[in-house]
Amino acid sequence: MKKGIILAFLAGAVCLTSCNSNDDDNRVEPSVKKEVLGANDAQLFNQELAKFKETAGFKKASTEVALAAQINGAYESSTSDQLVGLFTDLAPYVGQAEQFQNWLATSKNGIEDFAEPGKAGKLGNRIVNAKGVETFMLYKKGITGGLQIHNITERIKSIKQGQDVQENLNELLGYLFGVDNFSVTTNSKGKFQLIVDGNEKARPKNELLRYINQVSENEKTPILANIVSAVNTASTNIKDQKKLNQSLDVISESVAKILALRAVHYFDEFVDELSSEDKRVTAVHEMSEGLGFVYGLQFSYNPATGEPYFSNQEVADYVNSIDFWNAREAKVKLDEIANELAKRLKFNRKDA
């Protein structure tokens, strides 16, 4: 009898230990995903980033991000053919490159005409397609996913498979942090920020950097703190597979959440202005940016599934379903999209 009781106790203890062990393996440790940064966190990040910037992998990725920034800046003064020519050098590094090239090629369709339902042309100082969507904004905001997040995801997958871990981490951080000379430091309000060239009002050329700052202004979406703590963990624990993988999961979740948060922000703030003659141009511009962010989510990586948060088919259907000329229908569809973004990326719409 006593022997049976002892064996039962030991079996239960083994089960409890095993269950706790598995839970621990799947839990991201607090130190890997901080919600508030301290001075030591910022100092370590700046020191580690300086080392990464000296590597060939970081520099290579940064060069590609710089080319994307060049194309973005060339839109106003270039023809569609010139934009496509610039994109030729970037295309090999872009997911769904054909779609992005097509958006550039058609971004100035109807430049001599006035836009109207079913007809591309000028809408105020913007150029929209037949559905009233600003095609270049689909490209410009979508390429953040198509170039940067696409390559971040590919490097994360390779690292998790144990392939050229250091080299892939160098490149990953180049796609995430490349181009701009910045540091994490406190701004005039005493909050930590990615500050370019010592000027907290300077706009980064790297689109991801810009939006990391914007979404992190809300303390309920502390993406900057999440990413900085994850990078610190990855760089100082590169041989600890568990901590490295946890840090990569935080990075992949964070960059996807940036796109989703900004998309929902634009949809919720501007959708009611589609019905206003005075505000329609701005509304179309901002929400076209939002659709570009939505398209970019197909390049994300969901650590829980190993798949994107949204498939190519899903985001293509979302983008193609919107007709800004029909304000009432657009509002209904954008509301549905925003709800799904918030659900899958696990945030409250009011925090976007």
Instruction: Supply 161's token pair.
Output: 């498979």
3-state secondary structure the chain: CHHHHHHHHHHHHHHHHHHHHHHHHHCCCCCCCCCCCCHHHHHHHHHHHHHHHCCHHHHHHHHHHHHHHHHHHHCCCCCHHHHHHHHHHHHHHCCCHHHHHHHHHCCCCCCCCECECCECEEECCEEECCCCCCHHHHHHHHHHHHHHHHHHHHHHHHHHCCCCHHHHHHHHHHHHHCCCCEEEEECCCCCEEEEECCECCCCCCCHHHHHHHHHCCCCCCCHHHHHHHHHHHHHHCCCCHHHHHHHHHHHHHHHHHHHHHHHHHHHHHHHHHHHCCCCHHHHHHHHHHHHHHHHHHHHCCECCCCECCCCHHHHHHHHHHCCCCCHHHHHHHHHHHHHHHHHHHCCCHHHC
| pLDDT exceeds cutoff 50 at 352 | yes
pLDDT value at residue 178: 98
315-334 average pLDDT score: 97
pLDDT value at residue 245: 97
The pLDDT mean for the chain works out to 93
Residue 6's pLDDT band, with cuts at 50, 70 and 90, is very low
pLDDT value at residue 24: 44
Q: Is the dihedral of CA 68, 73, 74, 80 positive or negative?
A: positive
| pLDDT per residue as tens digits for the range 27-79 | 667 778 999 999 999 999 999 999 999 999 999 999 999 999 999 999 999 99
Instruction: Supply 327's token pair.
Output: 């304000």
Residues 147, 47: Cα–Cα separation, whole Å = 26
pLDDT value at residue 261: 98
110 residue type, one letter: G
Instruction: Supply 32's token pair.
Output: 């890997």
| pLDDT exceeds cutoff 90 at 92 | yes
Lowest mean pLDDT among 12-21, 106-115, 197-206, 323-332: 12-21
Q: How many CB atoms lie within 10 A of CB 327?
A: 17
| pLDDT per residue as tens digits for the range 254-311 | 999 999 999 999 999 999 999 998 999 999 999 999 999 999 999 999 999 999 999 9
∠ CA 204-93-52 to the nearest 5 degrees?
55
Place of tokens 């940016």: 289
Residues 136, 285: Cα–Cα separation, whole Å = 10
Residue 11's pLDDT band, with cuts at 50, 70 and 90, is very low
| pLDDT per residue as tens digits for the range 117-171 | 999 999 999 999 999 999 999 999 999 999 999 999 999 999 999 999 999 999 9
Instruction: Supply 28's token pair.
Output: 């991201």
| pLDDT per residue as tens digits for the range 193-245 | 999 999 999 999 999 999 999 999 999 999 999 999 999 999 999 999 999 99
pLDDT value at residue 27: 62
Residue 61 · residue 175 · CB < 8 Å: yes
| pLDDT exceeds cutoff 80 at 114 | yes
